[in-house]
Structure 1
Amino acid sequence: MTANTEHALTRLAAARRLLLALDFDGTLSPLEDEPMDARMLPAARYALDTLSALPCTWVALVSGRSLADLRVIAEHRDDSPILLAGSHGAEYWTPDGGAAEPDEDPADIVLRDHLRAEAEQAVRALPGVWIEPKTFGFGVHTRKAAQTDGQMANDAVDALVRIGAPHWRRRTGHNIVEYAFRDEGKDSAVAHLRELTHADAVLFAGDDVTDEDALRSLADDDLGVHIGADSSTAATVVVDDIPQFAALLSELAARRGERGGIDCEHV
């Protein structure tokens, strides 16, 4: 562990109110060819369970997945203390309030369904390409496709959305391009969760391009962690893989647990 990481963990362990806002795919769970097969590594789950049981400590999953799908892959139960931010922060789940989703203009839903159907038709003949339905749009998965087929799929769907919904937000990730009629990003999700928990410090971690918005939004007392050493990042700490990140979380839990009672009732 580097001196920079040591210092950051010591600072976070001493925070009065600590929020851990964590991406799921590639951060807590390995990336899967079938996205709904993703599950948290046992070491990561143990660390999250330990942290969420500590006083004045909140754990949140912040994902581009729809809220419903995130609950499935995270094996998230109604009695869980872990907060959720789905669809890049357009949907939330809290222990007190349950699911909270915005009211949508019916016209947006009609356009979503129309463009999703057109996208499915456009990639139908391309092996390994498939369209993932999302609450506020859809994603084009190319993980199992040949490079040329994946590029053809992205070009075709880009053209459809450019004509049919030029105002939609486009995001790229690991072998996926996402389109959505809402503009929320993980930076706004972290801001909302920070306000909700009145956190004095935040640890945000992610592995993909869509996580960089949140990493760039962090304050001086926060910590950004990037999982994977294969890309440039705004994170101040980089770990090689999910097991290393799980070990970092466990170390933070141990240090914060050693502090004993924490008074955070007054905000």
Structure 2
Amino acid sequence: MSDSSPSPSGELATALALGTDARHLLVALDFDGTLAPLVDEPMSARMLPEARDALTRLSSLPDTTVALVSGRTLAHLAEISEREPDSRIHLAGSHGAEFWHPGGADDADADDAGSLRDTLADRAEAIIADTAGAWIERKRFGFALHTRLSDPERAAEAAARIDDLVRAEAPEWRRRTGQDILEFASRHEGKDAAIRRLRELVDADVVLFAGDDVTDEDALASLGAGDIGIRVGGGESVAAYRVADAAELAALLSRLAEARAGR
């Protein structure tokens, strides 16, 4: 199928060639802001149609593995990615603490800190009760404060108070920040560990990873020579390549699918 989008820049053309020629290519991708535009209601996020088509095509090719690697819980990632029972796309949720593999069951350890998580989330909700637009997302291994719709000054005050709470009650928990989000988790896995696990699982010699936020930098920094790291949008990054937005990444993935199919 031909692609009418503009040809990629010289640097991205190099990345495209690396992916095309890989013996076994792992395409691992963040979801929010990378495959789907950021939205005010997180559970309404959906992949761009061109991105979905590209991932479907890539996952059907020989020696090509596709995975979504997200901070979302596995259940939420399955919902927003609209996973079908026969999907060939691997899912890594909770920054790599939960996995689902095609043809298999969910793969995650028990949550030994569930009681503390619920207590802290309850107290965090009390802290933000008067902060308009802020809300707490309860996750399998922790919780997150969302302030996308809040006044910046009030959001900063709420974040500082919740920081103090977790520092006092669960100082060993991992703290992460992102675009209008502050997250805490009892598990310390990062997207770098998720990439390593997926690479070993499928014996990939080349990994393409793309992401748009601070938590994606762990994965981007873990890539080796010959891998392809892509930052979506602005912000500081260790990525060797950059695209403007999810639409440009979708176009690149479409070209990659076409190139690998024709090699």
Q: Does 1:177 align with 2:178?
A: no
Q: Across the two proteins, how many residue pairs are aligned to each other?
A: 256
Task: Confirm or deny: 8 A CA contact 2:111 2:141 kept in the other structure.
Answer: no
**From 240, 256, 261, the counterpart of 2:260:** 256
Q: Does 1:56 align with 2:60?
A: no
1:66-105 equivalences in 2 (<5 Å)? 66-105=73-112
State the secondary structure of the residue aligned to 1:16: coil
State the secondary structure of the residue aligned to 2:43: helix
**From 219, 223, 231, the counterpart of 2:235:** 231
State the secondary structure of the residue aligned to 1:172: strand
Q: C-alpha displacement at 1:39, in angstroms?
A: 0.4
Normalising by the residue count of structure 1, what TM-score does the alignment of the two structures yield? 0.94
Q: Which residue in 2 is equivalent to 1:156?
A: 161
**Counterparts of 1:103 and 1:155, CA distance in 2:** 30
Amino acid aligned to 1:15? A
Normalising by the residue count of structure 2, what TM-score does the alignment of the two structures yield? 0.96
**Counterparts of 2:73 and 2:18, CA distance in 1:** 33
**Counterparts of 1:164 and 1:122, CA distance in 2:** 15
Q: Does 1:45 align with 2:52?
A: yes
Q: Percent identity?
A: 54
* Large movers: runs of 4+ above 2 Å: none
Q: C-alpha displacement at 1:103, in angstroms?
A: 2.2
**From 249, 253, 260, the counterpart of 1:245:** 249
Amino acid aligned to 1:109? G
**Counterparts of 2:159 and 2:261, CA distance in 1:** 47
Task: Confirm or deny: 8 A CA contact 2:74 2:99 kept in the other structure.
Answer: yes
**From 200, 203, 208, the counterpart of 2:205:** 200
- 5+ unaligned residues in a row in structure 1: which ranges? 260-267
Q: Which residue in 2 is equivalent to 1:264?
A: none
Q: C-alpha displacement at 1:2, in angstroms?
A: 2.2
Task: Confirm or deny: 8 A CA contact 2:111 2:140 kept in the other structure.
Answer: no
- 5+ unaligned residues in a row in structure 2: which ranges? 1-7
Q: C-alpha displacement at 1:122, in angstroms?
A: 0.7
Give a deviation string over 1:238-263, Cα, whole Å, max 9, x none: 0001111001001111111111xxxx
**Counterparts of 1:67 and 1:185, CA distance in 2:** 14
Give a deviation string over 1:40-88, Cα, whole Å, max 9, x none: 0101101111111111111000000000000000001221000000000
Amino acid aligned to 2:199? R
**Counterparts of 1:241 and 1:231, CA distance in 2:** 12
Q: C-alpha displacement at 1:201, in angstroms?
A: 0.5
**Counterparts of 2:248 and 2:43, CA distance in 1:** 24
Q: C-alpha displacement at 1:224, in angstroms?
A: 0.2
